[in-house]
Amino acid sequence: MAERTPERLVRLLGDLPCVIITADHGEAVRSAVASADCHLLHKPLKPLALKSLMARLLAARPRAA
pLDDT at position 36, please? Answer: 86
> In this structure, which amino acid lies at residue 27?
E
Q: Which domain holds residue 45?
A: 14-60
**3 within domain boundaries:** no
pLDDT at position 48, please? Answer: 97
Q: How many structural domains comprise the chain?
A: 1
**7 within domain boundaries:** no
**19 within domain boundaries:** yes
| E strand or H helix at 64 | none
DSSP state of 17: -
**45 within domain boundaries:** yes
pLDDT (tens digit per residue) in 1-59? 566 776 777 788 777 888 999 999 999 999 999 998 899 999 999 999 999 999 999 99
CB 23 within 8 A of CB 40: no
pLDDT at position 3, please? Answer: 66
Total residue length of the chain: 65
pLDDT at position 2, please? Answer: 65
**9 within domain boundaries:** no
pLDDT at position 64, please? Answer: 59
**49 within domain boundaries:** yes
